[in-house]
């Protein structure tokens, strides 16, 4: 039996609107690729270019607003592109640098709860440093006041960025605690789907930077956290249904090329 969710039709309409808008404004790149075009056809090359173009803003145009739709019925507050703050304490910056250095040298193991405790102790000490406006992709606050900040990443992020991701998550903690020092805050990386399925998502396990129990939400773990048990599987059925519905429009558009 298919599960019903309050966000079902709103998510479907969001998808329809996003794809139709992209189709209406899309024009293929002018790269001259004669071998590929003659082998595969102009329509297939245009479709390939369209998919590449869509991928560049899939997170902001589709995943972020869907995340908000799923969260609205389960959280007191849900926002995308949330402004975390514009200041951080100098002592918090030093503490974060020390945490990252220790993790990078493997002299300590990641423990988010311990790291937050360290930052909380110094979040209002030292001088207040002005920084550029810092935004989190997804902000959630539950009925108990717990705050969750997510950085939405591609399915296969660059391995060289792992240390930077960790620093961002810790900085969010320090910036938010500057204004709300007693807040129950959680910051994490979210990966919309697991490209290695059915095998576990293992891209991060050898890096020693993230606390994998609290700082990484992949596929089902992310979407079910937002929308409730079964949300991820149901979301896939919506994508499939909208894809079937829009297929004649997509085919017609690319026959023009």
Q: pTM of the prediction?
A: 0.90
> What pLDDT, on the 0 to 100 scale, is given for residue 4?
59
Closest CA to 214 of 186, 192, 194: 186
Positions of CATH 3.40.1560 in the chain: 75-227
* pLDDT attached to residue 30: 65
What is the pLDDT at residue 160? 65
Cα–Cα dist 171/165, whole Å: 10
Residue ranges for the chain with pLDDT beneath 70? 1-4, 29-30, 159-160, 203-207, 257
10 Å Cβ neighbour count for 202? Answer: 9
pLDDT (0 to 100) of residue 203:
64
**Torsion sign, CA atoms 105, 108, 111, 113:** negative
* pLDDT given at position 2: 46
| pLDDT at 257 (0 to 100) | 67
Dump pLDDT digits (tens) for 150-175. Answer: 999 877 777 667 788 999 999 999 99
Altogether, the residues listed in the chain come to a count of 257
User: Which of 1.10.3470, 3.40.1560, 2.60.40, 3.20.20 would CATH assign to domain 75-227?
Assistant: 3.40.1560
Residue keyed to tokens 């909380």: 120
- C-alpha to C-alpha distance for 239 and 243, rounded to whole angstroms: 6
Report yes or no: 216 and 191 within 8 Å, Cβ to Cβ: yes
* pLDDT attached to residue 207: 65
d(CA 143, CA 140): 10
CB atoms within 10 A of CB 177: 23
181 burial class (0-12, 13-18, 19+ CB within 10 angstroms)?
exposed
């Amino acid at each position: 039996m298919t599960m019903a969710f309050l966000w079902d039709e709103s998510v479907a309409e969001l998808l329809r609107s996003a794809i139709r808008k992209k189709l209406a404004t899309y024009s293929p790149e002018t790269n001259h690729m004669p071998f590929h075009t003659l082998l595969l056809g102009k329509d297939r090359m245009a479709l390939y270019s369209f998919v590449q173009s869509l991928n560049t803003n899939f997170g902001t145009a589709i995943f972020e607003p869907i995340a908000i739709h799923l969260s609205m019925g389960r959280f007191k507050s849900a926002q995308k592109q949330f402004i975390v703050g514009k200041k951080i304490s100098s002592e918090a910056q030093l503490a974060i640098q020390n945490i990252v250095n220790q993790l990078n040298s493997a002299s300590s193991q990641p423990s988010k709860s311990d790291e937050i405790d360290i930052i909380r102790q110094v979040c209002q000490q030292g001088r207040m440093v002005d920084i550029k406006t810092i935004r989190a992709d997804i902000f959630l606050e539950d009925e108990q006041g717990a705050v969750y900040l997510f950085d939405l990443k591609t399915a296969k992020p660059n391995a060289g960025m792992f240390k930077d991701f960790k620093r961002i998550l810790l900085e969010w903690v320090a910036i938010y605690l500057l204004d709300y020092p007693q807040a129950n805050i959680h910051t994490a990386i979210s990966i919309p789907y697991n490209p290695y399925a059915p095998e576990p998502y293992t891209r991060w396990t050898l890096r020693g930077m993230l606390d994998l129990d609290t700082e990484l939400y992949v596929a089902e773990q992310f979407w079910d956290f937002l929308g409730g048990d079964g949300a991820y599987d149901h979301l896939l059925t919506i994508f499939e249904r909208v894809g079937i519905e829009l297929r004649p429009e997509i085919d017609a558009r690319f026959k023009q090329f």
